[in-house]
Amino acid sequence: MNTDDRPPVTVIGLGAMGKALAGAFLDNGHPTTVWNRTEGKGRELVERGATEAATAAEAIAASPVVVVCVLDYDAVREILGAPGTVTGLLAGRTLVNLTNGTPRQARELARWVSGRGADYLDGGVMAVPPMIGNPGSLVLCSGSPGAFTAHEGTLSALGAVDYLGEDAGRASLYDIALLSAMYGMFGGFLQAVALTGSERIPATEFTPLVVSWLNAMLTSLPAMAKAYDANDHSATTSNLGMQATGFVNLLETGRDQGVSTELLKPMGALLDRGVAANRGDDGLSALIDLLRTGPASATDPASATDPAKGADPAKGADPARATDPARATDAGSHDVVSHHLGSE
């Protein structure tokens, strides 16, 4: 394969994910420059052909596409805000930020980056490091359409790339939503194994049943999605009232078996709220409306910016759906990136 014409790429951040990203670019013949805050993490990549930059500034200057994948946005800000790093260097380049963060953080960083004459793409990596560059790896991406068109080929070294449009926050929203679904599943698994473990049933013996049960339950998701989109939650074989009654047994069994119910309690409370809102005859999808219409918890920091806060959770009413969350979030946010990074 002729790889001579592959564009150069820079990867900033050589944790488990950054190393895998850089490795995939190298495997695909991209001249790859790497930088990491702590020295020494690029050694193996250098042996495979990467160039290790001495500073983040040197790394940014080396390529038209700069991929950043560090722990969080604070780390991104620290790197981009280091004196002398960014000014004049980002202009004309594309910053692809694959660091996990919130839609608001992505939108703010997009504005900051475009203010420096650079293009911004935000991404969510839906894979663990060994999957990168292999079938099953998915990178969700949103932001500058021109940059995506120009660099889609480069990014495809990482796996399938799904472009979700111009809103830089959209990839992050999908990423966080998918992770929310994942943690729900993992939380359920942890609870299940803790319960059976309380009677010394080996997890390896019980887990195949969990896997087949969850797979069977997964088939109900498209119907729930359809019910939510149609705002018709009535046709159901498993009504909320029945589920709220049965859920009490999950809590009681946890207590009886000496297993914490901390993961389960919020779901029980939501089911109860559904019944209290006269939605006991509806199906589980009705709870999505309740999640979007409060009550905003006083201890939930996200509630402060919840566009749906204060809306009427009564059956049929759907004020949250009339709210465009992208616009509400954009309008409500102030530019904390500039605050952190300065206007330079």
Ligand X SMILES: NC(=O)c1ccc[n+]([C@@H]2O[C@H](COP(=O)([O-])OP(=O)(O)OC[C@H]3O[C@@H](n4cnc5c(N)ncnc54)[C@H](OP(=O)(O)O)[C@@H]3O)[C@@H](O)[C@H]2O)c1
The footprint of ligand X (CB under 6 A) covers 13-18, 36-38, 41, 69-72, 75, 78-79, 99-100, 125, 128-129
Nearer to ligand X, 130 or 295 (CB): 130
Nearer to ligand X, 73 or 228 (CB): 73
Closest CB 228 distance from ligand X, rounded Å: 27
Closest CB 317 distance from ligand X, rounded Å: 37
Closest CB 224 distance from ligand X, rounded Å: 26
Phi first, then psi: give them for residue 141, nearest 5 degrees.
Answer: -140, 140
Residue 107, burial from CB neighbour count under 10 angstroms (0-12, 13-18, 19+): buried
Nearer to ligand X, 15 or 197 (CB): 15
Nearer to ligand X, 96 or 125 (CB): 125
- Alpha-carbon distance of 157 to 65, in angstroms, equals 13
* In the block, residue with structure tokens 């989109």: 229
Of 110, 21, 93, the closest CA to residue 59 belongs to 93
Residue at shortest CB range from ligand X:
15
* Exposure b/e, 299-311, CB count within 10 A at least 16 = b: eeeeeeebbbbeb
Of 80, 77, 68, 93, the closest CA to residue 144 belongs to 93
Nearer to ligand X, 64 or 129 (CB): 129
Nearer to ligand X, 18 or 283 (CB): 18
Element (H, E) at 214: helix 203-218
Closest CB 260 distance from ligand X, rounded Å: 26
Closest CB 103 distance from ligand X, rounded Å: 15
Q: DSSP state, 68?
A: E
Nearer to ligand X, 173 or 264 (CB): 173
**CB-based contacts of 324, cutoff 8 Å, min separation 6:** none
Token pair for residue 286? 């009705």
* In the block, residue with structure tokens 């809102």: 277
Closest CB 77 distance from ligand X, rounded Å: 8
Amino acid letter at 165?
G
Closest CB 144 distance from ligand X, rounded Å: 21
Report the C-alpha dihedral over residues 303, 306, 310, 316, rounded to 10 degrees.
-130
Of 17, 52, 20, 23, the closest CA to residue 38 belongs to 52
